[in-house]
C-alpha cells in the first residue's frame, strides 16, 4: 500500500496532512476549489473498497491511516464544479466552464474507451482484471512472468 509505505518512511507528512488528494484530484481542486477523490485513481491506494465504493475502515485501521484524510469519492460523469472565477477572468473568459469527474487512471480511461458491444447491441459491462502468473523455477533461476 502506497500510504502504508509513506507512513513508514515519512510519518511526519501524514501526521501533518489534512486531506489526501491524488494528482488529478489536486488539479481539479486548483481549478474548482472542490476536494473530491476520483475513484479510479483512489483505488490505487488500496484503501478504497471497490464493492462498497467507500474508504475501507478495516484497511485504514490495519495500517493506522486516518479516514479523515479522504474526501468525498466522486462519481464518473458528475460535475465537480466550475472553473474558478479568478482563473476565468485571468484568461479572459466570461462564461462558466464545468469540471467533470472522469476516470483519471490510465487503465480505467483505456477500458472505458473500448467500444465493446454484446449480441444485443448494448454496451458490454467491462471489468479490468490483472492476473500475475506464478513464476516457475528454471535451473535455480526465477522466470519472469510473461
Query: Cα–Cα distance between 121 and 117 in angstroms, integer?
Result: 5
Residue 58 Cα distances to 65, 66, 138, angstroms: 10, 11, 39
Is 106 a residue of the active site?
yes
Query: Cα–Cα distance between 36 and 29 in angstroms, integer?
Result: 8
- Residue 33 DSSP one-character state: S
Catalytic option among 25, 94, 96, 106: 106
Residues recorded for the chain: 146
Catalytically active residues, by annotation: 106
Amino acid at each position: 500500500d502506497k500510504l502504508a509505505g509513506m507512513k513508514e518512511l515519512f510519518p511526519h507528512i501524514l501526521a501533518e496532512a489534512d486531506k489526501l488528494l491524488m494528482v488529478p484530484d489536486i488539479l481539479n481542486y486548483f481549478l474548482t476549489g472542490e476536494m473530491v477523490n476520483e475513484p479510479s485513481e483512489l483505488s490505487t491506494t488500496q484503501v478504497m473498497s471497490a464493492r462498497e465504493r467507500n474508504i475501507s475502515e478495516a484497511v485504514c485501521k490495519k495500517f493506522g491511516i486516518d479516514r479523515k484524510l479522504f474526501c468525498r469519492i466522486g462519481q464518473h460523469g458528475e460535475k465537480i464544479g466550475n472553473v474558478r472565477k479568478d482563473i476565468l477572468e485571468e484568461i479572459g473568459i466570461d462564461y462558466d466552464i464545468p469540471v467533470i469527474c472522469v476516470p483519471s487512471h490510465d487503465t480505467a480511461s483505456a477500458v472505458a474507451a473500448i467500444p465493446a458491444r454484446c449480441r444485443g447491441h448494448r454496451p458490454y459491462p467491462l471489468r479490468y482484471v490483472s492476473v500475475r502468473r506464478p513464476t516457475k523455477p528454471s535451473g535455480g533461476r526465477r522466470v519472469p512472468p510473461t
